[in-house]
Amino acid sequence: MLTFLKQLGSPPRFFKVSGPLSRGLTIAAALLGIPGLWLALAGTPTDAQQGEVYRIIYLHVPAAWMSMFLYSVATGYAVLYWIWRSPVSAVMMRALLPTGAWMTLVALVTGSLWGKPTWGTYWVWDARLTSELMLLFIYLGLMALAHLVEDETKTDRALALFTVVGMVNIPLIYFSVVFWNTLHQGMSIGAPGAARMAPEMKIALLVCTFAVWFACAAIALARGRWLLAMREARSRWVREVPELATP
């Protein structure tokens, strides 16, 4: 595995592998997204307590999960950058931030829309919502830091360091419903004593989650390939790639 990771850290190898992988993930996202959308809107029963408004869960929950997962992956790339100083790790760390920020924003907006009919308000300053909002600010701060200097390589170390530091917020988001009193629903899938979800609802949620996961992965890889090509524009391997060759 270590050898494979080192080989994948080679810019030309990463560029070659990530292209077909990104396209495959895009197809997988579409194949799951279409039935997932149908299940979310019509293929699952109406919730006995919340009615039809609960269906926002099929977008809100995948977005919330991905907001944390993408940041965790970006942190992993930040650590790999500190170990190997690989340009692939640097560009993937950067490529994941905008997608993660969008997922965080979607989670916050859909959560507010869901909160109005269930809580009677769009927003409450409880631990889960506040820590998720902090995650959005962390994403935006890191994205701003990434563009402070025109030469990206000069900000890679600082960006990697602050990305790792910001990781402390992820456990706070995940365990906020355990450590603090909150209006937000606690862990409901697989947690002992949690309310049981109807099997068809759980299947629909998993389908939607994987569709969003594949879509985010495809977008991040595509952005990473573009950033890598821009950074390595003067390298010989870039000139040898047909799709990057200039006429």
pLDDT of residue 33: 96
Instruction: Tell whether 22 is covered by a domain.
Output: no
Which tens digit of pLDDT belongs to each residue from 162-200?
A: 999 999 999 998 887 666 555 555 555 554 444 567 889
* Burial class of residue 237, CB neighbours in 10 A (0-12, 13-18, 19+): middle
User: How far is residue 116's CA from residue 89's CA, in Å, rounded to a whole number?
Assistant: 41
**Domain membership of residue 186 as a residue range:** 27-244
Confidence of residue 119 (pLDDT cuts 50, 70, 90): confident
In three-state secondary structure terms, 47 is strand
pLDDT of residue 193: 46
Helices (H) and strands (E) in the chain, counts: 9, 0
Instruction: Tell whether 34 is covered by a domain.
Output: yes
Instruction: Tell whether 15 is covered by a domain.
Output: no
Confidence of residue 238 (pLDDT cuts 50, 70, 90): confident
Q: In whole angstroms, how far apart are CA 192 and each of 108, 133, 186, 187, 189?
A: 26, 28, 11, 9, 9
pLDDT of residue 234: 86
- Is 60 exceeded by the pLDDT of residue 2? no
Output the pTM of the full model: 0.90
Q: How many domains does the chain have?
A: 1
Instruction: Tell whether 19 is covered by a domain.
Output: no
CB-based contacts of 30: which residues, under 8 Å, 6+ apart? none
Domain of residue 201, CATH code: 1.20.120
Whether the CB-CB separation of 221 and 229 falls below 8 Å is answered with: no
Which tens digit of pLDDT belongs to each residue from 54-108?
A: 899 999 999 999 999 999 999 999 999 998 889 999 999 999 999 999 999 999 9
Instruction: Tell whether 16 is covered by a domain.
Output: no
| Element (DSSP H or E) covering residue 5 | helix 2-8
User: How far is residue 223's CA from residue 57's CA, in Å, rounded to a whole number?
Assistant: 28
pLDDT of residue 1: 47
Whether the CB-CB separation of 235 and 11 falls below 8 Å is answered with: yes
Which tens digit of pLDDT belongs to each residue from 195-220?
A: 567 889 999 999 999 999 999 999 99
Of 38-47, 58-67, 114-123, 218-227, minimum mean pLDDT range:
114-123
Mean pLDDT calculated for residue range 146-174: 90
pLDDT of residue 123: 84
Instruction: Tell whether 12 is covered by a domain.
Output: no
CB-based contacts of 196: which residues, under 8 Å, 6+ apart? none
Instruction: Tell whether 18 is covered by a domain.
Output: no
Instruction: Tell whether 2 is covered by a domain.
Output: no
Rg (the chain; Cα; Å): 20
* Burial class of residue 93, CB neighbours in 10 A (0-12, 13-18, 19+): buried
pLDDT of residue 95: 97
